[in-house]
Amino acid sequence: MELKKINELNINKLQLRCILIHKIECIGVIFRSGKDASGKPLDEEYYYIPEKDNDLQRVKLIEDLKGSASHLRNCRKVHKQYFWKKP
């Protein structure tokens, strides 16, 4: 898919999330619960999975940009809510 074609579709945020989660296998998702400092719900986070990508040129490009250790550690694939106290 070309980015220009996607921009012309005028899809909303929910539709984009569905495409990322269900149609693109090389994109992983971390669902997060809780709220940010302003009280808004946390959005999910997305990460790239090079082993599931069929485009070898993209895999090579990302390895060149990020280094060969471009994989996300397993501990980062789970959301942990951190709390802090006011001093």
pLDDT for 33 equals: 85
pLDDT value, residue 57: 92
Average pLDDT over residues 3-13: 71
Supply the DSSP symbol for 52. Answer: G
d(CA 44, CA 21): 11
The CA-atom distances, in angstroms, between 46 and each of 28, 30, 38, 75, 83 are: 6, 6, 22, 14, 22
Find all residues with CB under 8 Å of 50, minimum gap 6, and list them: 26, 59, 62, 63, 70, 71
pTM over 0.85: no
The answer to whether residues 17 and 44 touch, using CB atoms and an 8 Å cutoff, is: yes
Least confident of 1-10, 12-21, 44-53, 64-73: 1-10
- Taking the C-alpha atoms of residue 43 and residue 33, their distance in angstroms, rounded to an integer, is 8
Report domain extents, the chain.
26-77
Query: What is the band of 70 on the pLDDT scale with cuts at 50, 70, 90?
Result: low
Q: Is the pLDDT of residue 53 over 60?
A: yes
